[in-house]
């Protein structure tokens, strides 16, 4: 049996000490990158990404000093509003940085909280819908397995 909490914690601990290097979105999916941006080739195309990426497609919120800064619902409004929100998050977390990952907390249901410097935190709560991706953590330029949480559980594909 998979120890979900231990496996997620093991994978995410690489973030400790890294700065947030990018914040964006794809539809209502929050995308964050961590570590210095670098260029690499992927399938014959040049890309630039951080060392690690987190894609969140379930409920999430970013808080600062107890105040909610943004949530998934902000990305579900108009495309224009989603761009405004992610531009604001980019300014707060990257441009006016550095904002570093200081610690994290994980549950057996795939929930996680990443605590950042300057009082920021990201809380992620899976939707619990079977076969529906909640969030994904990966190294963009590596061929390793992504850590994929579906329905609040680790997708077994992530461990093979």
Please write the tens of the pLDDT for every residue from 108-137. 999 999 999 999 999 999 998 888 999 999
The reply to whether omega before 98 is within 30° of 0 (cis) is yes
Please write the tens of the pLDDT for every residue from 145-154. 899 999 999 9
**Residue 42 C-alpha from the chain's centroid:** 21
Please write the tens of the pLDDT for every residue from 5-46. 999 999 999 999 999 999 999 999 999 999 998 877 767 888
Backbone angles phi, psi at 85, to 5 degrees: -65, -50
Is residue 52 over pLDDT 80?
yes
Please write the tens of the pLDDT for every residue from 91-101. 999 999 789 99
- The reported pTM is 0.91
């Amino acid at each position: 049996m998979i120890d979900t909490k231990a496996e997620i914690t093991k994978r995410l601990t690489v973030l400790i000490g890294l700065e947030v290097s990018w914040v964006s979105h794809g539809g209502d999916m929050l995308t964050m990158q961590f570590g210095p941006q670098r260029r690499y080739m992927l399938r014959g195309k040049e890309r630039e990404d951080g060392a690690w990426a987190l894609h969140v497609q379930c409920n999430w919120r970013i808080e600062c000093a107890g105040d909610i800064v943004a949530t998934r619902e902000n990305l579900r409004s108009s495309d224009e509003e989603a761009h405004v929100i992610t531009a604001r998050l980019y300014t707060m977390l990257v441009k006016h940085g550095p904002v570093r990952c200081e610690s994290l907390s994980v549950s057996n249901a795939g929930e996680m909280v990443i605590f950042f410097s300057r009082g920021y935190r990201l809380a992620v709560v899976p939707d619990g819908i079977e076969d529906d991706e909640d969030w994904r953590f990966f190294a963009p330029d590596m061929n390793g397995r992504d850590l994929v949480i579906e329905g609040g559980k680790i997708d077994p594909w992530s461990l093979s």
